[in-house]
């Protein structure tokens, strides 16, 4: 069915296409034949209608000249009739003659002028040949119907006017259709030309994008600068129509040839002076092109170009991070004019190379800095270990003698001496903890941390931790423990968990002068996570400082005037261990009201361990929350 429908449509459109081909150009024979009826009708109308302005002899002379002008068309060249510069004046001439004839004869009525005008308009605005044929046939019929039905008396001259709409429609409509088809053809030709230009531009852009892609692939495959330059030049010369290429990079304020491809000689020692003028890109980073080095005055030393047979070149700067790194040169062995579009593309290519070179230099610089930092870090770690170890020996002696004095082994001491020795012992213990913290951080950074999972009986773990703080606290500070008696046994890293809690509890005690420090523990069975909550009523932390407290050597702000020790490593260790264990921590704090640390860590159950009864009693400085959370 589709094939039959297509054939029928083709047969239906064939006459129309043939008719359109009739109007492709204004042909000589067609123009003369269509003009003959207009000439004859105008002549008859002028000859048989009485004229008040012209005598019979003058009318005959005008008619003879008019007929001769038409006969002259037979002797003109055929190409003239296809030019609008010829048939346009012809149309104007015939229109003037027709108007003069009608005005002179006086035989035309207003309805005739209206009919002729409407016919001309309809003929001109028709968009296809079928419309023109309809106007040609219907115009005289409509005018005849109007004349015979509206006039009481018919003038014999009316029979000369009746064919005029038909002739006018054919004559003027023909040229209108010719011009319409010519205009359509021009539009199609312009459209095709634009499409061809667009296709050509797309093809060029695709080729350039392919070159950019290939160059990018070649320079991205390595970070070594020498390999980048070599790969860049080789790839560029494969895809671009140039004979040779050079990359010159800045060194000690001048440009030196770093990489070159496509030259006859293996070394470019002779080209050093010939290419020296490219140093100007360091001061004026603009593309420099030379169509012919042998006629351009800015090239003085031609020995290198003569030996290599090079004629033209283009030099573009290599700019990265607003810094001129050097220049890129492409050279040809035939005279070549570098157009602006080509220069823009080469500049883009040079920018890509400059970025790769810049990244390579940054990488080399970062590698050197990394090695220097690694060496400095090792020296620092060794220094901390040595100093910390050496500090422990005299510190142990001080602690030992302090305990001997307090136990009375070295004789009786006065109450004032006892209080002073207790202060020395307490400060020694704190200094001992600081040294251990520094050693631990150094060990953490020097060695790769790993998790050591063991069974942890949570109730025993919490009770053991509670006994660690069984010493007199500061006056007005109360330590509260809140954990249920039925805590299960879980899988976890006992040492790291204890270290985190000691740091958080110690931090809370250090910043609390009066009030309560509470340690709460609960096990989230549904999530198999262990949660610890350490809250205090201390000085608090400003909200803007909370994100910084886990940084190394970051100590609490002294906004309250409190003096406290430490080196700012406790919370840093907590965060490092939490990240290692896959846990998270939340900080809630208000200045002057206190701080709460809540952290959770994964803790799967170990077997079916039951809870334990509480065996330890609260000391004088602490209380125990009996409620289960």
Q: How far apart are CA 468 and CA 497, in angstroms?
A: 14
Is the dihedral angle over the CA atoms 462, 465, 467, 473 positive or is it negative? negative
**In this structure, are 319 and 223 located in the same domain?**
yes
For strands 529-536 and 244-251, give the pairing.
unpaired
**In this structure, are 176 and 274 located in the same domain?**
no
Q: Is residue 34 part of a domain?
A: yes
Report the largest interatomic distance among the alpha carbons of the chain, rounded to a whole angstrom: 167
**In this structure, are 475 and 593 located in the same domain?**
yes
Q: How far apart are CA 432 and CA 564, in angstroms?
A: 16
Can you give the pLDDT at residue 492? 92
**In this structure, are 511 and 582 located in the same domain?**
yes
**In this structure, are 43 and 173 located in the same domain?**
yes
Q: How far apart are CA 144 and CA 112, in angstroms?
A: 10
Determine the distance from the C-alpha atom of residue 318 to the mean position of all C-alpha atoms in its chain, rounded to a whole number: 22
Q: How far apart are CA 569 and CA 550, in angstroms?
A: 8
Can you give the pLDDT at residue 106? 61
Q: Is residue 382 part of a domain?
A: no
Is the overall model pTM greater than 0.75, yes or no? no
Q: Is residue 372 part of a domain?
A: no
Q: Is residue 429 part of a domain?
A: no
Q: Is residue 508 part of a domain?
A: yes
Can you give the pLDDT at residue 167? 76
Tell me which of 319, 337, 367 is where a domain ends. Answer: 367
Q: Taking the CB of residue 134, how many other CB atoms lie within 10 A of it? A: 13
Instruction: Measure the CA dihedral 460/463/465/467, to 10°.
Output: -130
**In this structure, are 465 and 331 located in the same domain?**
no
Contact 165, 140 (CB under 8 A): yes
Can you give the pLDDT at residue 10? 46
Can you give the pLDDT at residue 208? 72
Q: Is residue 206 part of a domain?
A: no
**Which residues form the domain of 116?**
12-189
Contact 359, 223 (CB under 8 A): yes
Q: Which of 353, 356, 19 is CA-nearest to residue 178?
A: 19
Q: Please tell me the total count of domains within the chain.
A: 3
**What's the Rg (C-alpha) of the chain?**
52
Determine the distance from the C-alpha atom of residue 343 to the mean position of all C-alpha atoms in its chain, rounded to a whole number: 24
**In this structure, are 235 and 150 located in the same domain?**
no
Is the dihedral angle over the CA atoms 403, 408, 411, 413 positive or is it negative? positive
Q: How far apart are CA 248 and CA 373, in angstroms?
A: 32
Can you give the pLDDT at residue 621? 44
Q: What is the mean pLDDT of each run of 10 residues along the chain (629 residues)?
A: 45 48 62 78 71 72 81 80 76 77 67 74 72 74 74 64 74 75 82 85 76 74 80 83 87 82 71 73 83 82 82 88 87 89 86 84 84 76 68 76 77 81 78 72 69 90 86 78 90 91 88 90 92 93 88 62 62 89 92 92 76 43 40
**In this structure, are 486 and 362 located in the same domain?**
no
Q: Is residue 510 part of a domain?
A: yes
Q: Phi and psi (nearest 5°) for 351?
A: -65, -40
Contact 588, 581 (CB under 8 A): no
**In this structure, are 168 and 225 located in the same domain?**
no
Tell me which of 316, 337, 367 is where a domain ends. Answer: 367
């Amino acid at each position: 069915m589709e094939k039959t429908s297509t054939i029928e449509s083709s047969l239906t459109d064939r006459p129309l296409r043939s008719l359109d081909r009739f109007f492709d150009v204004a042909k000589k024979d067609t123009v003369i034949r269509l003009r003959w009826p207009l000439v004859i009708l105008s002549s008859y109308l002028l000859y048989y209608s009485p004229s008040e302005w012209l005598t019979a002899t003058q009318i005959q002379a005008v008619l003879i000249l008019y007929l001769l002008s038409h006969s002259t068309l037979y002797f003109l060249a055929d190409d003239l009739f296809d030019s609008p510069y010829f048939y346009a004046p012809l149309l104007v001439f015939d229109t003037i003659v027709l108007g003069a004839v009608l005005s002179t004869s006086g035989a035309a009525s207003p309805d005739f002028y209206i009919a002729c005008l409407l016919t001309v308009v309809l003929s001109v605005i028709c968009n296809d040949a079928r419309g023109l044929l309809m106007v040609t046939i219907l115009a005289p019929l409509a005018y005849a119907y109007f004349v015979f039905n509206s006039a009481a008396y018919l003038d014999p001259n009316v029979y000369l006017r009746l064919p005029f709409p038909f002739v006018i429609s054919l004559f003027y409509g023909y040229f209108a259709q010719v011009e319409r088809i010519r205009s359509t053809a021009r539009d199609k030709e312009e459209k095709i030309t634009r499409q061809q230009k667009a296709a050509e531009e797309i093809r060029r852009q695709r080729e350039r994008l392919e070159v950019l892609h290939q160059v990018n692939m070649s320079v991205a495959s390595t970070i070594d600068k020498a390999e980048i330059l070599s790969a860049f030049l080789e790839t560029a010369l494969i895809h671009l129509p140039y004979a040779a290429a050079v990359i010159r990079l800045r060194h000690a304020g001048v440009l030196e040839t770093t990489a070159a491809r496509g030259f006859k000689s293996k070394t470019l020692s002779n080209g050093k002076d010939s290419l020296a003028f490219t140093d100007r890109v360091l001061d004026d980073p603009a593309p420099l092109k030379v169509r012919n080095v042998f006629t351009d005055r800015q090239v003085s030393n031609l020995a290198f170009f003569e030996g290599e047979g090079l004629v033209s070149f283009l030099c573009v700067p290599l700019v990265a991070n607003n810094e001129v790194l050097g220049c890129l040169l492409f050279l040809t062995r035939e005279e070549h004019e570098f157009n602006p579009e080509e220069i823009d593309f080469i500049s883009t290519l040079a920018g890509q190379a400059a970025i790769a070179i810049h990244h390579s230099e940054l990488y080399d610089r970062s590698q050197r800095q990394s090695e220097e930092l690694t060496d400095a870090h090792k020296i620092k770690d060794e220094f901390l270990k040595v100093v910390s170890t050496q500090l422990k020996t005299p510190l142990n002696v001080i602690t030992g003698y302090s305990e001997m004095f307090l136990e009375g082994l070295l004789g009786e001491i006065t109450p004032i001496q006892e209080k002073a020795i207790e202060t020395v012992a307490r400060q020694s213990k704190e200094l001992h903890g600081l040294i251990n913290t520094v050693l631990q951080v150094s060990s953490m950074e020097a060695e790769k941390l790993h998790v050591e999972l063991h069974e942890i009986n949570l109730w025993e773990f919490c009770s053991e931790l509670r006994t660690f703080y069984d010493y007199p606290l500061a006056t007005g500070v109360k330590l509260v423990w809140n954990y249920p008696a039925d805590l299960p046994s879980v899988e976890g890293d006992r040492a790291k968990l204890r270290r985190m809690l000691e740091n958080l509890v110690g931090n809370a005690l250090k910043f609390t002068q009066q009030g309560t420090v509470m340690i709460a523990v609960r096990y989230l069975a549904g999530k198999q996570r262990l949660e610890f909550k350490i809250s205090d009523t201390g000085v608090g932390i400003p909200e803007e400082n909370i994100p910084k407290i886990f940084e190394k050597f970051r100590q609490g702000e002294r906004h309250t005037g409190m003096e406290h020790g430490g080196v700012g490593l406790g919370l840093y260790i907590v965060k490092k261990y939490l990240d290692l264990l896959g846990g998270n921590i939340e900080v809630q704090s208000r200045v002057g009201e206190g701080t709460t640390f809540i952290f959770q860590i994964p803790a799967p159950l170990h077997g079916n361990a039951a809870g334990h009864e509480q065996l330890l009693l609260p000391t004088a400085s602490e209380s125990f929350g009996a409620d289960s959370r």
